[in-house]
Amino acid sequence: DAGVIQSPRHEVTEMGQEVTLRCKPISGHNSLFWYRQTMMRGLELLIYFNNNVPIDDSGMPEDRFSAKMPNASFSTLKIQPSEPRDSAVYFCASSMTSGLGAQYFGPGTRLLVL
Amino acid sequence: SQQGEEDPQALSIQEGENATMNCSYKTSINNLQWYRQNSGRGLVHLILIRSNEREKHSGRLRVTLDTSKKSSSLLITASRAADTASYFCATDVGGSEKLVFGKGTKLTVNP
Protein backbone atom coordinates (compact mmCIF):
# COMPACT_ATOMS: atom_id res chain seq x y z
CA ASP A 1 0.00 0.00 0.00
CA ALA A 2 1.19 3.53 -0.73
CA GLY A 3 0.31 4.83 2.69
CA VAL A 4 -1.54 8.06 3.35
CA ILE A 5 -1.05 10.50 0.49
CA GLN A 6 -1.18 14.26 0.94
CA SER A 7 -0.94 17.05 -1.56
CA PRO A 8 0.53 19.49 -2.02
CA ARG A 9 3.65 18.83 0.04
CA HIS A 10 4.48 22.52 0.22
CA GLU A 11 2.26 25.53 -0.23
CA VAL A 12 3.20 29.19 -0.13
CA THR A 13 0.37 31.66 -0.43
CA GLU A 14 -0.51 35.20 0.41
CA MET A 15 -2.79 36.29 3.19
CA GLY A 16 -6.41 36.26 2.12
CA GLN A 17 -6.04 33.50 -0.43
CA GLU A 18 -7.93 30.22 -0.29
CA VAL A 19 -5.89 27.13 0.49
CA THR A 20 -7.04 23.56 -0.12
CA LEU A 21 -5.17 20.60 1.28
CA ARG A 22 -5.90 17.10 0.06
CA CYS A 23 -5.64 13.66 1.59
CA LYS A 24 -6.07 10.10 0.38
CA PRO A 25 -6.27 7.65 3.30
CA ILE A 26 -5.05 4.08 3.27
CA SER A 27 -7.49 1.85 1.46
CA GLY A 28 -9.75 0.04 3.91
CA HIS A 29 -9.28 2.54 6.72
CA ASN A 30 -12.55 4.04 7.85
CA SER A 31 -11.35 6.88 10.08
CA LEU A 32 -9.53 9.98 8.93
CA PHE A 33 -7.91 12.70 11.01
CA TRP A 34 -6.60 16.19 10.23
CA TYR A 35 -3.88 17.60 12.50
CA ARG A 36 -1.92 20.81 12.62
CA GLN A 37 1.61 20.97 14.02
CA THR A 38 3.43 24.11 15.15
CA MET A 39 6.39 24.68 17.42
CA MET A 40 4.29 26.66 19.86
CA ARG A 41 1.22 24.44 20.12
CA GLY A 42 2.55 21.03 19.13
CA LEU A 43 0.28 18.58 17.33
CA GLU A 44 -3.39 19.50 17.48
CA LEU A 45 -6.33 17.50 16.20
CA LEU A 46 -8.53 19.67 14.02
CA ILE A 47 -11.27 17.25 12.95
CA TYR A 48 -11.87 13.58 12.42
CA PHE A 49 -14.23 11.52 10.31
CA ASN A 50 -15.55 8.02 10.70
CA ASN A 51 -17.12 6.35 7.66
CA ASN A 52 -16.99 9.75 5.91
CA VAL A 53 -19.03 11.46 8.64
CA PRO A 54 -17.47 14.24 10.74
CA ILE A 55 -17.42 13.05 14.34
CA ASP A 56 -15.52 15.73 16.21
CA ASP A 57 -14.64 19.15 14.80
CA SER A 58 -14.04 20.83 18.13
CA GLY A 59 -10.42 21.49 17.18
CA MET A 60 -11.23 23.53 14.09
CA PRO A 61 -9.93 26.97 15.03
CA GLU A 62 -12.62 29.10 13.43
CA ASP A 63 -15.07 29.40 10.59
CA ARG A 64 -12.27 30.00 8.13
CA PHE A 65 -11.47 26.30 8.34
CA SER A 66 -13.67 23.64 6.77
CA ALA A 67 -13.18 19.96 5.99
CA LYS A 68 -15.03 17.50 3.81
CA MET A 69 -14.88 13.82 3.09
CA PRO A 70 -17.05 13.14 0.04
CA ASN A 71 -16.01 9.48 -0.16
CA ALA A 72 -13.87 6.90 1.60
CA SER A 73 -10.78 7.70 -0.45
CA PHE A 74 -10.60 11.48 -0.36
CA SER A 75 -10.73 14.38 2.07
CA THR A 76 -10.02 18.08 1.87
CA LEU A 77 -9.17 20.74 4.41
CA LYS A 78 -9.87 24.25 3.24
CA ILE A 79 -8.77 27.57 4.74
CA GLN A 80 -10.56 30.64 3.42
CA PRO A 81 -9.30 33.30 3.83
CA SER A 82 -5.85 32.27 4.98
CA GLU A 83 -3.87 34.24 7.55
CA PRO A 84 -0.17 34.21 8.51
CA ARG A 85 -0.99 32.49 11.81
CA ASP A 86 -2.25 29.50 9.81
CA SER A 87 1.33 28.73 8.81
CA ALA A 88 2.05 25.22 10.05
CA VAL A 89 2.47 21.64 8.93
CA TYR A 90 -0.86 19.95 8.35
CA PHE A 91 -1.03 16.18 8.67
CA CYS A 92 -3.67 13.75 7.60
CA ALA A 93 -3.84 10.35 9.29
CA SER A 94 -6.06 7.32 8.88
CA SER A 95 -6.91 4.28 10.92
CA MET A 96 -9.18 1.29 11.13
CA THR A 97 -11.70 1.53 13.94
CA SER A 98 -10.91 -2.07 14.74
CA GLY A 99 -7.19 -1.33 14.80
CA LEU A 100 -7.13 -0.30 18.46
CA GLY A 101 -6.36 3.29 17.62
CA ALA A 102 -3.03 3.10 15.77
CA GLN A 103 -3.00 5.97 13.30
CA TYR A 104 -1.01 6.14 10.08
CA PHE A 105 0.22 9.57 9.13
CA GLY A 106 0.85 11.12 5.77
CA PRO A 107 4.00 13.14 5.04
CA GLY A 108 2.26 16.43 5.76
CA THR A 109 1.70 19.69 3.91
CA ARG A 110 3.96 22.55 4.95
CA LEU A 111 1.91 25.73 4.62
CA LEU A 112 3.38 29.21 4.68
CA VAL A 113 1.01 32.16 4.53
CA LEU A 114 2.78 35.43 3.82
CA SER B 1 -4.32 21.59 27.44
CA GLN B 2 -2.09 18.67 26.47
CA GLN B 3 -3.16 15.33 27.85
CA GLY B 4 0.31 13.82 27.66
CA GLU B 5 3.50 15.56 28.64
CA GLU B 6 6.84 14.03 27.76
CA ASP B 7 9.97 14.35 29.80
CA PRO B 8 12.69 15.29 29.09
CA GLN B 9 12.06 17.74 26.27
CA ALA B 10 15.44 16.86 24.77
CA LEU B 11 17.87 14.00 25.27
CA SER B 12 21.32 13.50 23.78
CA ILE B 13 23.14 10.19 24.11
CA GLN B 14 25.89 8.15 22.48
CA GLU B 15 25.25 5.27 20.14
CA GLY B 16 24.86 2.04 22.06
CA GLU B 17 23.44 3.68 25.17
CA ASN B 18 19.86 3.26 26.30
CA ALA B 19 17.35 6.10 26.03
CA THR B 20 14.43 6.52 28.40
CA MET B 21 11.57 8.92 27.82
CA ASN B 22 8.65 9.50 30.13
CA CYS B 23 5.08 10.55 29.60
CA SER B 24 2.54 11.75 32.13
CA TYR B 25 -1.15 12.20 31.47
CA LYS B 26 -4.10 13.60 33.34
CA THR B 27 -7.27 11.57 32.85
CA SER B 28 -8.24 7.91 32.62
CA ILE B 29 -7.28 6.19 29.42
CA ASN B 30 -8.05 3.02 27.50
CA ASN B 31 -4.67 2.91 25.84
CA LEU B 32 -1.46 4.87 25.39
CA GLN B 33 0.56 4.98 22.21
CA TRP B 34 4.08 6.06 21.29
CA TYR B 35 4.99 7.58 17.94
CA ARG B 36 8.25 8.63 16.32
CA GLN B 37 8.72 11.60 14.02
CA ASN B 38 11.82 12.08 11.96
CA SER B 39 12.60 15.65 10.96
CA GLY B 40 10.29 16.84 8.21
CA ARG B 41 8.24 13.65 8.17
CA GLY B 42 4.93 12.37 9.44
CA LEU B 43 4.54 10.46 12.68
CA VAL B 44 5.09 6.73 12.72
CA HIS B 45 3.24 4.48 15.17
CA LEU B 46 5.64 2.49 17.36
CA ILE B 47 3.67 0.69 20.01
CA LEU B 48 0.34 0.68 21.82
CA ILE B 49 -0.19 -0.41 25.40
CA ARG B 50 -3.62 -0.97 26.86
CA SER B 51 -4.66 0.28 30.27
CA ASN B 52 -4.71 -3.27 31.67
CA GLU B 53 -1.14 -3.95 30.55
CA ARG B 54 1.93 -3.00 32.53
CA GLU B 55 4.71 -3.67 30.08
CA LYS B 56 5.12 -4.34 26.40
CA HIS B 57 8.08 -5.08 24.16
CA SER B 58 8.71 -4.60 20.47
CA GLY B 59 12.23 -5.23 19.25
CA ARG B 60 14.51 -2.75 21.03
CA LEU B 61 11.53 -0.89 22.48
CA ARG B 62 10.10 -1.44 25.93
CA VAL B 63 7.06 0.46 27.15
CA THR B 64 5.73 0.49 30.68
CA LEU B 65 2.47 1.88 31.94
CA ASP B 66 1.55 2.80 35.49
CA THR B 67 -2.09 3.82 35.57
CA SER B 68 -1.97 4.62 39.29
CA LYS B 69 0.65 7.28 38.58
CA LYS B 70 -0.79 8.14 35.16
CA SER B 71 2.61 7.71 33.58
CA SER B 72 4.39 5.71 30.91
CA SER B 73 7.97 5.25 29.85
CA LEU B 74 9.57 4.33 26.56
CA LEU B 75 12.96 2.65 26.67
CA ILE B 76 15.06 2.27 23.55
CA THR B 77 17.92 -0.13 24.14
CA ALA B 78 21.26 -0.13 22.31
CA SER B 79 20.41 3.10 20.51
CA ARG B 80 21.54 3.82 16.97
CA ALA B 81 22.10 7.06 15.10
CA ALA B 82 18.98 6.20 13.08
CA ASP B 83 16.91 6.46 16.28
CA THR B 84 17.45 10.23 16.23
CA ALA B 85 13.93 11.65 16.10
CA SER B 86 11.20 13.17 18.23
CA TYR B 87 9.11 10.76 20.26
CA PHE B 88 5.52 11.46 21.24
CA CYS B 89 3.08 9.78 23.54
CA ALA B 90 -0.61 9.91 22.74
CA THR B 91 -3.64 9.00 24.79
CA ASP B 92 -7.22 8.35 23.82
CA VAL B 93 -9.98 10.67 24.97
CA GLY B 94 -13.01 9.15 26.61
CA GLY B 95 -12.55 5.85 24.80
CA SER B 96 -12.99 7.52 21.41
CA GLU B 97 -10.64 7.30 18.44
CA LYS B 98 -9.49 10.82 19.22
CA LEU B 99 -5.86 11.03 20.37
CA VAL B 100 -4.18 13.81 22.27
CA PHE B 101 -0.43 14.11 21.76
CA GLY B 102 2.24 15.50 24.02
CA LYS B 103 4.86 17.93 22.76
CA GLY B 104 7.46 15.22 22.43
CA THR B 105 10.99 14.36 23.45
CA LYS B 106 13.69 15.20 20.93
CA LEU B 107 16.24 12.39 20.98
CA THR B 108 19.68 12.79 19.46
CA VAL B 109 21.89 9.73 19.19
CA ASN B 110 25.49 10.66 18.46
CA PRO B 111 27.57 8.20 16.43
Q: What CATH number is associated with residue B50?
A: 2.60.40.10
Domain count, chain B: 1
Average pLDDT, chain B: 92
Q: What is the pLDDT of residue B2?
A: 47
CB–CB of A101 and B88 under 8 A? no
Q: What is the pLDDT of residue B97?
A: 84
Burial label, A101 (beta-carbon count in 10 A; 0-12, 13-18, 19+):
buried
Candidate ranges A65-74, A94-103, B3-12, B23-32; pick with highest mean pLDDT: A65-74
What averages of pLDDT result for each successive group of 10 residues across chain A (114 residues)?
A: 92 97 96 95 94 93 94 97 97 83 94 98
Interface membership of B2 toward A (CB under 8 Å): yes
Taking CA–CA distances from B6, the nearest residue in chain A reads: A42
Q: What is the pLDDT of residue B3?
A: 62
* Domain span holding position B83: 5-110
